[in-house]
Amino acid sequence: MTETETRSGFVALIGRPNVGKSTLLNRLVGFKVAAVSDKPQTTRTRIRGILTRPEGQIIFVDTPGIHKPIHEMNERMMRAVRDAISDVDVLLLIIDVLEPFGRGDEFTLELIKPTEKPALLFLNKIDKLKNKAQLLPLMDRYHRAYPFRELIPGSALTGENVELLVEKLFEALPPGPLYYPESEVTDQPERVLAAEIVREKLLMVTRDEIPYETAVYTERFQDEGELLRIYCTILVERDGQKGIIIGRGGQRLKRIGSLAREELEFLFGKKVYLELHVKVRKHWRENPQILDQLGIRG
Ligand SMILES: Nc1nc2c(ncn2[C@@H]2O[C@H](COP(=O)(O)OP(=O)(O)OP(=O)(O)O)[C@@H](O)[C@H]2O)c(=O)[nH]1
Ligand SMILES: [Mg+2]
């Protein structure tokens, strides 16, 4: 296939926290490349996922949910969103159809407007919608706000209309070569992927106790052929949080570890030895060195 026959380019997934951007990214590339949780601000960095088809290649850029920054960490997260918006060829705005239109949505549209870039709207979570007619006022509102090329209702969770979305995204991209080898689904190093999976399980197991004040990074990642040895560190802000994560008799940390190990074995296709440590680092969200180490660059 020659270069002129394929289409390719970068597509940013943008939207408010918790609307399902990362769930959609994982479904689009068919692989868990970004952590997903029911808590807002799960994604903290720009994560690339790659989709290769006979039509060409789409490089998706998942971004943190658009919110008001309070900590240095959140300032960096929002810079990552702005950079992604200005760097890509096509914008994919994702909204949660169950959330009423609010100031955050207005603000998101204000970010998009001056770019005049081709944009598509994915109205996500329609699996939770009883009456599809409810979509019409929402579609009308977005239709009037920006010249979206397409407004597609669908579900990242069930996959409804995701194929249609892929088709329309390819149509919006210019002719171009494949930038990555066909087999690649992300440009994230394996050690970053490992930390992301541990963080996902951490968010899942700890429920509402500590969502924002934790971070995970991989201290060591050793490939020993048959076995991967992975050592991850969980950062918390306060001593009490360390206790919450470890749990009575270490039960909770064990559960996080075994859930993460299972998924990592599946992702990497080999046996994994996973060791987790919990460290207290006060105010890590304001600490530029730690944020750099976590890859939260903005
Ligand atoms: N019912 C339903 N739930 C969904 C759908 N897509 C995502 N979710 C759920 O919504 C929650 C948030 O999903 P994420 O993919 O983490 O959302 P996000 O937009 O990446 O969130 P941030 O990274 O925090 O900005 C999770 O509990 C998902 O399982 C969908 O189509 N239907
Ligand atoms: Mg996300």
Question: Distance from CA of residue 240 to its chain's centroid?
Answer: 28
pLDDT exceeds cutoff 90 at 119: yes
pLDDT exceeds cutoff 60 at 2: no
CA-to-CA distance for 141 and 101, rounded, in angstroms?
A: 9
| pLDDT attached to residue 120 | 98
pLDDT exceeds cutoff 80 at 288: yes
Structure confidence by residue, pLDDT tens digits, 258-278: 999 999 999 999 999 999 999
Contacts of 223 (CB under 8 A, 6+ apart): none
Report the predicted TM-score, pTM, of the whole model to 2 decimal places: 0.94
- Exposure of 52 in the CB half-sphere (CA atoms within 13 A): 10
CA-to-CA distance for 280 and 290, rounded, in angstroms?
A: 12
Ordered strands of the 119-124 beta sheet: 47-53, 56-62, 7-14, 90-96, 119-124, 150-153
Q: What is the dihedral of CA 287, 293, 86, 183, to 10 degrees?
A: -160
- pLDDT range class, residue 101, cuts 50, 70, 90: very high
| pLDDT attached to residue 4 | 58
| Best probe residue, ligand 1, of 23, 39, 214 (max atoms within 8 Å of C-beta) | 23
Where does 190-293 sit in CATH, by number?
Answer: 3.30.300.20
pLDDT exceeds cutoff 80 at 208: no
Burial of 23 (0-12, 13-18, 19+ CB in 10 A): buried
Q: Taking residues 152-156, report their average pLDDT.
A: 98
Residue with CA at minimum distance from ligand 1 atom 14: 20
pLDDT exceeds cutoff 70 at 160: yes
pLDDT exceeds cutoff 80 at 114: yes
Q: Under CATH, domain 3-172 is a member of which superfamily?
A: P-loop containing nucleotide triphosphate hydrolases (3.40.50.300)
Q: Taking residues 63-90, report their average pLDDT.
A: 94
CB of 63 closer than 8 Å to CB of 80: yes
| Best probe residue, ligand 1, of 18, 67, 96, 97 (max atoms within 8 Å of C-beta) | 18
C-alpha triplet 109, 111, 113: angle, nearest 5°: 65
pLDDT exceeds cutoff 80 at 289: yes
Contacts of 162 (CB under 8 A, 6+ apart): 24, 27, 28, 154, 155, 156
C-alpha triplet 14, 202, 20: angle, nearest 5°: 20
Cite the residue boundaries of each domain of the chain with CATH code 3.30.300.20: 190-293
Q: Taking residues 149-158, report their average pLDDT.
A: 98
CA-to-CA distance for 216 and 210, rounded, in angstroms?
A: 13
Distance (angstroms) between ligand 1 centre and the Cα of 14 equals 13
- pLDDT range class, residue 211, cuts 50, 70, 90: confident
Closest ligand 1 atom to the C-alpha of 17? Answer: 25
| pLDDT attached to residue 83 | 95
The two beta strands, 227-236 and 215-223, are antiparallel
CA-to-CA distance for 199 and 42, rounded, in angstroms?
A: 9
Q: Taking residues 121-133, report their average pLDDT.
A: 96
Cite the residue boundaries of each domain of the chain with CATH code 3.40.50.300: 3-172
For ligand 1, is residue 186 a contact (CB within 6 Å)?
no
Identify which ligand lies nearest to the alpha carbon of 28. Answer: 1
| pLDDT attached to residue 224 | 95
| pLDDT attached to residue 140 | 96
For ligand 1, is residue 247 a contact (CB within 6 Å)?
no
For ligand 1, is residue 128 a contact (CB within 6 Å)?
yes
